[in-house]
Amino acid sequence: MAGSPLQISVSGVRGIIGESLTPEVAVGFARAFGTYLGPGKVVVGRDTRPSGDMVRSAAIAGLLSTGCDVVDIGIAPTPTTQIAVASGEAVGGIVITASHNPAEWNGLKFIRGDGIFLNAEQVDAFLAVHRRGVYAAADVNGLGRIQEDRDAADRHIAKVLAVVDAELIRRAKLHVALDSCNGAGCMPAQKLLEALGCRCTSINSTPDGQFSRGLELIPENLADLCALVRESGAHVGFAQDPDADRLAMVSEQGVAIGEEYTLALGCLFVAEKGAPPGPIVVNLSTSRMVEHVAQEHGRQVFRTPVGEVNVVERMLREKALIGGEGSGGLIYPAVHHGRDSLAAMGVILEGLARYGRPISELVAELLPRYEMVKREARLDEGVPVARIMSSVRSAYPDASLNDEDGVKWDWEDRWLHIRPSNTEPKVRIIAEAPTGDAAAKLADEGAALIRREMAALRQ
């Protein structure tokens, strides 16, 4: 990983601390953002990474230098920061996080005044300011000021409680096993579960950034939570990523269900309520289970390129009921337009309370069974990714082709999606099919396609 360049995309800026991400880099991007936004309040929150204080301090200094006032909400989930921006008369926000990247990484994610991340056009305009390097510079009497806000998470929790049937959940007396990965979701998640009358048994529950497991919410990283569910007799296990915008589940049997099921079950439980109207919006790499849910409840599905803002902006246009990304990122507009592990917990717990049946039974009986396999291929420095994507387009002439985000091939009962990562120098390869073997075969074929094209470029 040493020497990895700074990653700049619609998902923000990410780099390795002391290498591609230094205090000078963070100050520069914050100055550019403050210049791009203009005068006003900017909310700053962070996850619990060891480098968080350093990057936060640099970002705040950059913002203050442009004349922006800073509302510092401290350690907070990414969705909490988004809500604080949208509800606090702020002109924007910065989240200090690298999401699921390893602990040596950190980053800055940029939020516009409505609490939604910058879209591609807005990122381009912001980055143009950064490239010019000419920033607003307040004089000594015009420098921004800092105010602290330590109640943002409580307001976030209140919004979740207002849109779920809290009394129904309380009557169910559910027992939840929780793994917050020592991240920003530790305290808010426990507070929410307490408010919903749940008994909570937790691990990795100290918000100190000492990550004791892999950060991706994949089954192999949830072994300790699976064991905790079995040992404690919990009805369900919840796992958060470090910035708490994503959620994965473990069944009452102590089996990791798979992060795709968070969104599928969430869509099912919300759609069952019948109102309000509206479609479901997900990205191109999300499981086909969502189409099954939509068909069962008479709703339409729209798909977008990967990236939260792509999903959110389509949700806004279509007045969507619910949506998200299959990597555990449920977006429930009744709370706010952003991926949110706390909203996902509320929705899932309400569904469990309504059915009064084990989650393993609900998954088996209410959703079709698909298996998803993911691979990745690292890219040589300077490789022309667009050329690779163009070269592989014709690999499957019998499939339906979508090239909105990399290349995706669809067949009647399976699909393969190859796309450049927004956050790391690699290509992501995702396949879904009725069986694990079929999905693995398809994903391996996709990886072989990329290796072949990379070898051809080296010649």
Sign of the C-alpha dihedral computed for residues 259, 261, 262 and 263 taken in this order: positive
User: Does 180 qualify as catalytic in the annotation?
Assistant: no
Cα–Cα distance, 68 to 145 (Å, whole number): 7
Cα–Cα distance, 8 to 180 (Å, whole number): 27
Cα–Cα distance, 34 to 39 (Å, whole number): 8
Cα–Cα distance, 215 to 153 (Å, whole number): 22
Provide CB contacts within 8 A for 53, sequence distance 6+. 46
What are the helix (H) ranges across 42-150?
A: 52-65, 78-87, 120-132
- Which residue, 53, 51, 1, 9, is CA-closest to 29? 9
The Cβ of residue 195 has, within 10 Å, a number of other Cβ atoms equal to: 17
**Residue with tokens 């069986």, as numbered in its chain:** 435
Among 11, 51, 65, 99, the one annotated catalytic: 99
The two three-digit tokens of residue 186, written as one number: 């530790």
Active centre residues (catalytic): 99
